[in-house]
Amino acid sequence: MLVFPPVALKADVRDHLRNTFTNEELVSEVGEEVADREFDALLSSLSHPPSFSCVRINTHLAPPQQVQHTLQQELTGQQLGGCHGEEASLVPLPHSQLPDVLMLPILGPRRVCVLDSEVVVGAQCGSSVLRGAHVFAPGILSAPKTLQVGGLVSVFSDVENKCTRGAKSFEGQKVFLGNGVCEMSRSEVFCSKGPIRGVAVRMTDRLYITPCFDRVLPHLVFLQNLPSVVVGHVLGPRPGECVLDMCAAPGGKTTHIATLMSNQGVVVALDKIRSKVEKLRENAAKQHLSCIQAFCCNSIQAVATPTSPSQNSTWDGANGPPFPEESFDRVLLDAPCSGLGQRPNMAVSCSLKEICSYQPLQRKLFSTAVRLLKVGGVLVYSTCTVTLAENEEQVAWALRTFPSLTLQPQEPHLGEQGMLGAGLSHDQRRLLQRFHPRMRGGVASDGHTPMPCLDDADSDTIGFFIAKFVKS
Ligand code: SAM
């Protein structure tokens, strides 16, 4: 059952994506009708939340079973915005193949009545609300004159980014997210002294219910999309190794890598935005992971040039970038990308030009990654987008450009194989892992919201791509 319209895209972005998903190679295999249908289903899935939230356990500090129990206790009694029976059914479940993962159902869409009074929030705030957050004041765009503390309101999300902040009402395209109680008046929300923080609407009756992980066991669990956790396992770091995470902030994968290494060895984490590096350091400290060394750096320039002092020396594990060539046992390039796999996402604001700008940037970063990797080392390339240009086409380019690289099988392999259209062979595509979002569930005919099935959790997730190489 469709609740929200498919993700809103600019017309040229939509055409570009449609061409990708109905490319000649693909259509000749599955037929035009199936390719078209799959594309439409993809756009619908993207605007809806996945059927489970995924939390990764910091196994460095506590065993999974203990964390499952502690988390269950923490979440009991949380007001999630559903009825008691629904809330009681939302318990953390272990993932069948990933020992460090707990899955929490996202229950919905539920039947919720729309109220007379409404606030409209931005698309980003709307996505957070769908994933369990309350409405924070900076996210509100429009609120009625009568908004006052204790009043009940319906919350809508602006789909096309057209609502102006401070408006009293909005008649543009918007989607309903649920109802809540105001904790701020209109004048507090739109305070003239500048942006105000804090919860403005506490959600009490949601379209989708799922626990909110804000400040819940921050040292023991990390909210992370399932494919992102798969990346850490596919990289397969071992205690004592030197590992480079080239685009690391805010550190979800860095802290996972350090955890898999039992905090032994060195994980160098680079990101080009200083404030994000600070956030990464905070996350590492919160999880007691002292083997992480974080630096603010443009990773394209992370390899030492022949004139720089560190050239020809071996890296001693103490200095920051630039590093001598072949310094690392494993390199993760979780590349900056167009992010078109993120869910729920009701509207993509970026232009076609921006979407197309990522391929050359990713190639520059990839070339640096190959130079910094030791012979025999492992390189994992990942993105959270669905385009061919940033995924399979990059793999085809890498195999042509770096004869020393070979594709490797991935463990675990929970996603689908690579998509047709980039000229890769069947065997090459089978070694790739593409998470192609497929929405499940819906409202049952008796009006009850069915519990999502754990078997669907691996496919009803965000759009994501993983490739693993070894350098010979
Ligand atoms: N790996 C991260 C995680 O799991 O938490 C997410 C990384 S996000 C997909 C991409 C990151 O690349 C952003 O934080 C961005 O600031 C960073 N970035 C973009 N261009 C970069 C560059 N040239 N050098 C280093 N970092 C870069």
Q: Which atom of ligand 1 is nearest to the CA of 334?
A: 1
Tokens, residue 217 = 């066991």
Ligand 1 center–CA 78 separation, angstroms: 33
Cα separation, 403 vs 414, whole angstroms: 28
Pocket test for ligand 1, best of 235, 246, 272, 298 (most atoms within 8 A of CB): 272
Can 350 be counted among the known catalytic residues? no
Same domain, 430 and 348: yes
Ligand 1 center–CA 246 separation, angstroms: 7
Q: Give residues with Cβ within 8 angstroms of 259, minimum separation 6.
A: 58, 59, 60, 100, 287, 289
Q: Which amino acid is at 175?
A: V
Cβ of 251 closer than 6 Å to ligand 1, yes or no, is yes
Q: Which amino acid is at 195?
A: P
Same domain, 152 and 279: no
Same domain, 250 and 358: yes
Same domain, 296 and 383: yes
Cβ of 152 closer than 6 Å to ligand 1, yes or no, is no
Query: Which of 175, 206, 237 marks a domain boundary?
Result: 206
Cβ of 279 closer than 6 Å to ligand 1, yes or no, is no
Residue 217 pLDDT exceeds 60: yes
Query: Which of 178, 206, 234 marks a domain boundary?
Result: 206
Tokens, residue 140 = 């509100």
Mean pLDDT of 61-82: 87
Distance of CA 68 to the CA centre of its chain: 22
Same domain, 176 and 250: no
Nearest to 322 by CA among 295, 344, 343, 348: 295
Using CA atoms, how far residue 28 sits from 18, 300, 392, in Å, is 15, 38, 18
Same domain, 279 and 199: no
Query: What per-residue confidence (pLDDT) applies to 440?
Result: 75
Same domain, 329 and 420: yes
User: DSSP readout, 88-142?
Assistant: HT---EE-SS-TTEEEEE-B-PPP-PPPSSEEEE-HHHHHHHHTT--EEGGGEEE
Residue 170 pLDDT exceeds 90: yes
CATH of the domain at 374: 3.40.50.150
Same domain, 300 and 432: yes
Residue 75 lies in a domain: no
Least confident of 45-49, 64-68, 290-294, 312-316: 312-316
Same domain, 286 and 187: no
Query: What per-residue confidence (pLDDT) applies to 213?
Result: 83
Query: What per-residue confidence (pLDDT) applies to 316?
Result: 76
pLDDT band with cut points at 50, 70 and 90 for residue 1: low
> Regarding predicted confidence, which is higher, 426 or 451?
426
Same domain, 180 and 234: no
Cα separation, 203 vs 152, whole angstroms: 10
Same domain, 445 and 325: yes
Among protein residues, the one whose CA lies closest to atom 22 of ligand 1 = 298
| 209 touches 80 (CB < 8 A) | yes
Is 432 exposed, middle or buried (CB count within 10 Å of its CB: 0-12, 13-18, 19+)?
buried
Residue 56 lies in a domain: no
Query: What per-residue confidence (pLDDT) applies to 138?
Result: 93
Q: Tokens 């999880």 — which residue?
A: 287
Distance of CA 448 to the CA centre of its chain: 29
Residue 51 lies in a domain: no
Does the model's pTM come out above 0.85? Answer: yes
Q: Which domain, by its residues, includes 182? A: 118-206
Cβ of 298 closer than 6 Å to ligand 1, yes or no, is yes
Same domain, 333 and 418: yes
| 161 touches 351 (CB < 8 A) | no
Q: Give residues with Cβ within 8 angstroms of 180, minimum separation 6.
A: 81, 134, 135, 152, 153, 155, 201, 202, 203, 204, 205
Query: Which of 206, 240, 258 marks a domain boundary?
Result: 206
Cα separation, 80 vs 63, whole angstroms: 27
Residue 365 pLDDT exceeds 90: yes
Residue 447 pLDDT exceeds 60: no
> Which pLDDT tens digit goes with each residue over 378-427?
999 999 999 999 999 999 999 999 999 999 999 999 999 999 999 999 99
Residue 88 lies in a domain: no
Q: Tell me the sheet residues that pair with 33.
A: none
Contacts by residues 90-95 (CB-CB < 8 Å, ≥ 24 positions apart):
90/209, 90/210, 90/211, 92/55, 92/68, 93/454, 94/64, 94/68, 95/54, 95/226, 95/457
How many structural domains compose the chain? 2
Would you call the peptide bond into 412 cis, given omega within 30 degrees of 0 as the criterion?
A: yes
Residue 407 lies in a domain: yes
Residue 460 lies in a domain: yes
Residue 29 lies in a domain: no
Q: Angle between the 226-235 and 252-260 helix axes, to the nearest 10 degrees? A: 40
> Which pLDDT tens digit goes with each residue over 188-210?
999 877 667 899 999 999 999 88
Residue 349 lies in a domain: yes
CATH of the domain at 158: 2.30.130.10
Residue 72 pLDDT exceeds 80: yes
Ligand 1 center–CA 249 separation, angstroms: 6
Cβ of 276 closer than 6 Å to ligand 1, yes or no, is yes
Cβ of 441 closer than 6 Å to ligand 1, yes or no, is no
Using CA atoms, how far residue 408 sits from 274, 300, 305, 316, 378, in Å, is 34, 24, 30, 29, 9
Cα separation, 49 vs 338, whole angstroms: 19
**Mean per-residue pLDDT over the chain, rounded:** 92
